[in-house]
Amino acid sequence: MQHDHLLHRLGTGGLAALTGASPAAATGLDRRTFLKIGAGSGFALGVFPAGAQAPAADVASALKPGQQPSAFVRIAPDGTVTVSIGKIDIGQGVHTALPMVVADEMDADWSKVRAEFAPAGDAYKDPLFGIQMVGGSTSIKNSWTQYREIGARTRAMLLSAAARRWNVTAASLTANRGVVTGVSGQRATYGELAEAAMAEPVPLSVVLKTPKQFTIIGRPTGRLDARPKSTGQQKFGIDMALPGLRTVLVLRPPVFGAKVASFDATAAKAIPGVDEVFEVPLDRGATGIAVVANGFWPARTAREALQVQWNTDGVERADSAALLAQYRQLASQPGLPVSQSDLSALAGAPHRIVAEYELPYLAHTPMEPLNCTIDLREGQCTVWVGSQFQTIDHATVAQVLGLDPKQVTLNTLMAGGGFGRRAVPTSDYVFEAAQVAKARRAAGRTGPIKLVWTREDDVKGGYYRPMHVHRAEIGIDAKGRVLAWKHTIVGQSIISGTPFEPMMIKNGVDATMTEGVADSAYGFPMTLEVHHPKVNVPVLWWRSVGHTHTAFVMETLVDEIARTVGADPFDYRRKALAKHPRHLAALDLVKRKSGYGTRRLPAGHAFGVAVHESFDTVVAYVVEASVEGGRPVLHRVTGAVHCNLAVNPRSIEAQVQGGLLMGLGMTLPGAEITLKDGIVQQGNWNDYRVATHAQMPQVEVFIVPSADPPTGVGEPSLPPLAPAFANALAAVTGKRLRRLPFEV
């Protein structure tokens, strides 16, 4: 993978192997210290029965920790198979899909398969990116071969143990649903063979199944966590309860980067249950006030009673209206070049489109607010956190506390959503928790603490999808052929100032901002330029990263081009994408299933079309929409997904449903973060709009059949929804929508 495209493949994870960049900007760690911590943070956890022998030394040295079955599979005497997952599950379904991959190659009995989260460790680092993380819809894609080989190696060791027991060749044995049988009627369950299997050498190479041999992969499968989640039994990070646990809330400055000038905690300390109040460092150089109490409500009440004076000297006070004016001005000026083409045909083109798009800051607002529990003891620290960046967060805790990474254990917990917010290069909320633990230790206090961000904390003081302005000038001929296209994008870089800037920004351009335009499958002749203004607003990847805005711009413009020359928008796309078979397969499937062009719609309703590729997956939508009482209404969505082989079709359907609903949320009035005099004006879902069940349209999802290795699913369903909706509304009203959220 090319470095200039690496981050957009990572998406919400946004991280690559860290050996090429200094992470000092994020955590204060120098490069050498960070790499030392990263290398020492992991371990291969033996999870077969206690007392089992380790793999042969020569084989163990030839295989990496992430290739060892002992780190991933535990088989109980009753045959229950527990698969350790090195990824966090933030709703994307890897808690089920990755065990499916292992179990199929193992020939395990799926009814006896369980899953658990692995701690931070070398064995669980992403095989491509070199750190333990989730992001960019890569969990299945990057782990596909790794987890298959884990299952196949485990199966081979079980067969070898059975062959040794019965004095036969392993080739004469068969395995099926957790049972090994021999030609002479011998029979042994995996539970009976597990301990002996661990004494067998780990095979260096294994033969994997063909797709036709899969018995679990590809079948619609209910999630292993469905019952505990639907019955309220699932424990998330915010549910952590330990003896003596204290809750921590932090009062953060109202303007990003400000510091505490002075504070009076007299009233706060008088509240029953409050233990401590003290100043702590925050990420990005700010400071805040930590309140430690015996519960959430005492901590919150005390925080509200604090009297604080803030020092904002030298701190920029961002304002949305002023930024929009600045961005519009920049969009009409030359910027950093991304691609160049001949623009001479613009002036004399038979048809010309000039369009300017405005896209606001967006907050992540996961259902479960951010939280981190830390128990710092003498020479040892244990962390419980729903982290998307285990390696980064683990290293941050060790550095803040001055511990060797081997003295820090980071346990991954189920998280109630993330959308990129739990993958922060600065480890902001984990950094804060470690700073509070450090301050308490210095004061002679010990015991576990749970730092909690309220949703208001995150909406007002977190990280955001950047605000953008796009400007396009397009010249087309009478048949819709693009003669010239000048395109400028203005927006903050999400990579600038992070450890990945040296590797991920090329010639000053952040490729995450141009993905979906610079690499568009349409291949239009385009001059593309960007501006990256420096703004005192913290920005971060948001589900589908640059595609959140580029897909909206490109797919509405393509639709407008087609309408301008009287072409059917669907047919125009199909002709323009003739060299892209996966796009065509998705388009043809969605047309057939939606009834586009054949199904008669009610009066005032119209079809809208969009197709977009992100994270190596193509998603095509046909939607049906109308305007009722001046309000846009999305009635129906038919989606076709080309993600290659579908490991769990049921989970893919759920991901598409969730992604399109989140994409719909971008269009709703109030779905924007605005700033005035440096202060975020929204605080919670009462004034920051997200889509709910009330807006959910009728949805049908179809998967293009394929036997090729899987591609990403968690994010690609989001980008094409808003443009498909906008295109349908344009067909109804004749008005082109160039702003999110919609103004009809």
**Model confidence over 420-451: pLDDT tens digits?**
999 999 999 999 999 999 999 999 999 999 99
Which pLDDT value is given to residue 21? 31
Which pLDDT value is given to residue 716? 98
Confidence of residue 162 (pLDDT cuts 50, 70, 90): very high
Contacts of 141 (CB under 8 A, 6+ apart): 615, 616, 709, 710, 711, 712
Confidence of residue 187 (pLDDT cuts 50, 70, 90): very high
Which pLDDT value is given to residue 38? 39
Average pLDDT over residues 153-173: 98
Which pLDDT value is given to residue 59? 57
Which pLDDT value is given to residue 39? 38
Distances (CA, A) of 735 to 596, 671, 730: 21, 21, 5
What digits encode the pLDDT tens for the residues 44-99? Answer: 223 333 333 334 445 556 899 999 999 999 999 999 999 999 999 999 999 999 99
Strands 482-491 and 527-531: parallel
Which pLDDT value is given to residue 58? 52
Paired tokens of 626: 């109308």
What digits encode the pLDDT tens for the residues 470-485? Answer: 999 999 999 999 999 9
Report the C-alpha gap between 655 and 417 in whole angstroms: 12
Report the C-alpha gap between 305 and 251 in whole angstroms: 11
Which pLDDT value is given to residue 33? 38
CA-based nearest residue to 714, from 459, 392, 428, 388: 388
Measure the N-to-C terminal CA separation of the chain; round to a whole number of Å: 41
* Helical pair 721-733 and 649-665, crossing angle rounded to 10 deg: 50
Confidence of residue 498 (pLDDT cuts 50, 70, 90): confident
Kindly report the average pLDDT of the chain as a whole number: 92
Which pLDDT value is given to residue 517? 98
Is the model more confident about 57 or about 298?
298
Q: What share of the chain is helix, strand, coil (3-state, %, to 5)?
A: 35, 20, 45
Average pLDDT over residues 687-703: 96
What digits encode the pLDDT tens for the residues 242-278? Answer: 999 999 999 999 999 999 999 999 999 999 999 999 9
Which pLDDT value is given to residue 631? 96
Is 473 in contact with 560 (CB distance < 8 Å)? no
Is the model more confident about 43 or about 539?
539
What digits encode the pLDDT tens for the residues 528-574? Answer: 999 999 999 999 999 999 999 999 999 999 999 999 999 999 999 99
Which pLDDT value is given to residue 6? 39
Average pLDDT over residues 178-201: 97
Average pLDDT over residues 141-153: 98
Confidence of residue 7 (pLDDT cuts 50, 70, 90): very low
Q: Assign residue 666 a region: left if phi > 0, alpha if psi is -120 to 50, beta otherwise?
A: alpha
What digits encode the pLDDT tens for the residues 319-333? Answer: 999 999 999 999 999
Which pLDDT value is given to residue 503? 81
Residue 62, phi then psi, degrees to nearest 5: -80, -25
* Single-letter amino acid code for the residue at 584: L
What digits encode the pLDDT tens for the residues 370-410? Answer: 999 999 999 899 999 999 999 999 999 999 999 999 999 99
CA-based nearest residue to 289, from 305, 273, 312: 305
Average pLDDT over residues 598-617: 97
Report the C-alpha gap between 605 and 409 in whole angstroms: 56
Which pLDDT value is given to residue 60? 54
Report the C-alpha gap between 420 and 13 in whole angstroms: 6
Average pLDDT over residues 689-697: 95
Report the C-alpha gap between 37 and 400 in whole angstroms: 12
Report the C-alpha gap between 497 and 151 in whole angstroms: 41
* Domains of the chain with bracketed CATH: 41-229 (3.30.365.10), 237-314+365-461 (3.30.365.10), 332-362+464-733 (3.30.365.10)
Report the C-alpha gap between 421 and 538 in whole angstroms: 12
By CB neighbour count within 10 A (0-12 exposed, 13-18 middle, 19+ buried), where does 25 fall? middle
User: What is the DSSP secondary structure assignment for residue 209, as one 8-state letter?
Assistant: P
Query: Within 10 Å of residue 145's Cβ, how many Cβ atoms?
Result: 13
Report the C-alpha gap between 238 and 232 in whole angstroms: 13
* Secondary structure (3-state) at 672: coil
pTM of the model: 0.92
Contacts of 600 (CB under 8 A, 6+ apart): none
Is 312 in contact with 258 (CB distance < 8 Å)? yes
Distances (CA, A) of 193 to 52, 57, 154, 187, 448: 12, 22, 11, 10, 41
